[in-house]
Amino acid sequence: MNQIVDMQQLLDAPTEEYMNEAQLDFFKTLLTDLKRKTMLHIEEMKVQLSDPPEINDDVDRAQYEEDSRIGLRIMDRERKLIRKIDKSLKRISDGDFGYCKETGEPIGIPRLLIRPISEYCADVKQVNEGKERHFQRERK
């Protein structure tokens, strides 16, 4: 089996080879690297937030507090991303990665390259987002 070394090889692979061993290895490496970088970023932000500078100016203090609030939100989103990465890695080991959870159809290499944690094909995701927007409008 040939090792996939770049995205172009992945995109050029024949359709009948969708989610073969080399492709799964490519995405496993991609997801593992994304998880490592995300965890590192969270740790860097924790260190930064745990050692606040001494600020005497009220405007500077307000800016620091706002920056800290934004940093906490980013860390929360990144923790959620790690959970999604872990789910994707599990789907790789289970043999479900790359297939829509709702239809079972291939999600597609281009979509997975853009968002490797995708669980749904573009059509299903678009319908689900439309339902969410409709539901939100009805609640207002």
pTM of this structure: 0.83
Q: First vs last Cα of the chain: how many Å apart?
A: 55
Across the chain, which has 140 residues, the per-10-residue mean pLDDT values are: 72 89 94 98 92 86 91 96 98 96 95 96 86 72
Q: Rounded CA gap, 117 and 98, in Å?
A: 9
pLDDT value of residue 115: 96
Three-class HEC string of the chain: CCCCCCHHHHHHCCHHHCCCHHHHHHHHHHHHHHHHHHHHHHHHHHHHHHCCCCCCCHHHHHHHHHHHHHHHHHHHHHHHHHHHHHHHHHHHHHCCCCECCCCCCECCHHHHHHCCCCCCCHHHHHHHHHHHHHHHHHHC
Domain covering 7-139 assigned CATH 1.20.120.910 in the classification: yes
Q: Rounded CA gap, 68 and 111, in Å?
A: 33
Spatial neighbors of 101 by CB under 8 A, at least 6 apart, are: 119, 120
pLDDT value of residue 44: 94
